[in-house]
């Protein structure tokens, strides 16, 4: 990758996602863009970057390239180690003290949907059905490709082995093929996946009682991270809670 190419990619990533690209990870970034370059008719990443830099093809290709550069941590989350403390310390007390009505949760930067489905599995396991129906879960991501996977709810055998117990896999998934597992329709109906950029607070999907943002802000520049955190706080209901990781 030429230095001019890397400079274009650095500017692109910061503009759309607030991410800072470190020079010592150029090989990693090149690997993430190779598929996009060939799929869009470019014989190299340098050619893709020249196209973006010289012709300004529009936000779609720019955004697709910027999101391809993101360091994704989308995985199923351990119910016992990671989600149970959040439920016991935040969600359960909030449900107990609030009047009947929607309890709104936002998974910001949800990736391919595993975190949102992990949370729903926990809630369905520990709450009565009528209480689960009170919960309005919205999960957002900047990447259209990630959201397509989330809406499809189809995961590889390797993916479901990380963070899911055998019991939860059997209860909430069906085996679509030898190597693929499908989220149950009942679970899929309990979450809305939407496109949203954390750097565009005006497009946020409302106000929430709980906001989860895990492994999203860590790669941002300090300025962009501060902007994103301020935007998240602006969409929190009084007495709400923000759970930031990474």
Q: What is the pLDDT of residues 104-124, one digit of tens each?
A: 999 999 999 999 999 999 999
pLDDT score, position 63: 82
pLDDT score, position 53: 60
pLDDT score, position 50: 83
Report the C-alpha gap between 61 and 66 in whole angstroms.
9
pLDDT score, position 186: 96
Task: Please tell me what DSSP assigns to residue 74.
Answer: -
Q: Give residue 222's pLDDT band: very low, low, confident or very high (50, 70, 90).
A: very high
pLDDT score, position 94: 94
pLDDT at 54 over 60: no
CA–CA distances in Å: residue 72 to residues 33, 105, 246? 14, 21, 12
Report the C-alpha gap between 44 and 102 in whole angstroms.
50
Q: Give residue 132's pLDDT band: very low, low, confident or very high (50, 70, 90).
A: very high
The mean pLDDT of 144-170, rounded to a whole number, is: 94
17-45 residue pLDDT tens: 999 898 888 888 888 899 888 888 888 99
The mean pLDDT of 161-174, rounded to a whole number, is: 94
pLDDT at 99 over 80: no
Pairing verdict, β 154-156 and 180-183: antiparallel
181-206 residue pLDDT tens: 999 999 999 999 999 999 886 777 78
For the chain, which domains are there? Answer: 3-68 (1.10.155), 79-245 (3.40.50.150)
Greater model confidence, 227 or 72: 227
CA–CA distances in Å: residue 227 to residues 201, 208, 209? 9, 18, 20
Both tokens of 133, joined, read 């129906």
pLDDT at 8 over 90: no
Lowest model confidence (mean pLDDT) among 58-62, 108-112, 237-241: 58-62
Mean pLDDT for the chain overall: 89
pLDDT score, position 204: 76
pLDDT at 172 over 90: yes
């Amino acid at each position: 990758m030429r230095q001019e190419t890397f400079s274009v990619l650095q500017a692109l990533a910061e503009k759309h996602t607030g991410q800072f690209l470190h020079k010592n990870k150029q090989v990693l970034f090149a690997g993430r863009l190779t598929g996009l370059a060939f799929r869009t008719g470019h014989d190299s990443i340098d050619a893709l970057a020249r196209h973006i830099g010289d012709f300004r093809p529009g936000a779609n290709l720019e955004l697709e390239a910027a999101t391809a550069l993101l360091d994704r941590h989308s995985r199923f989350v351990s119910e016992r180690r990671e989600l149970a403390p959040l439920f016991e310390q935040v969600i359960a007390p909030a449900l107990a003290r609030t009047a009947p009505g929607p309890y709104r949760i936002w998974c910001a930067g949800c990736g391919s949907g595993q975190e949102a489905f992990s949370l729903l599995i926990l809630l369905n396991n520990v709450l009565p059905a009528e209480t689960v129906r009170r919960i309005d879960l919205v999960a957002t991501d900047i990447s259209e490709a990630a959201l397509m996977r989330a809406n499809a709810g189809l995961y590889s055998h390797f993916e479901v082995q990380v963070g899911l117990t055998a019991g939860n896999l059997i209860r909430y998934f069906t085996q679509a093929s030898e190597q693929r597992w499908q989220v149950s329709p009942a679970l899929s109906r309990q979450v809305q996946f939407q496109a949203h950029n954390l750097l565009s607070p005006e497009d946020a999907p409302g106000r929430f009682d709980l906001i989860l943002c895990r492994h999203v802000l860590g790669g941002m520049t300090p300025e962009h991270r501060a902007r994103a955190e301020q935007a998240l706080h602006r969409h929190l209901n009084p007495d709400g809670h923000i759970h930031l990781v990474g």
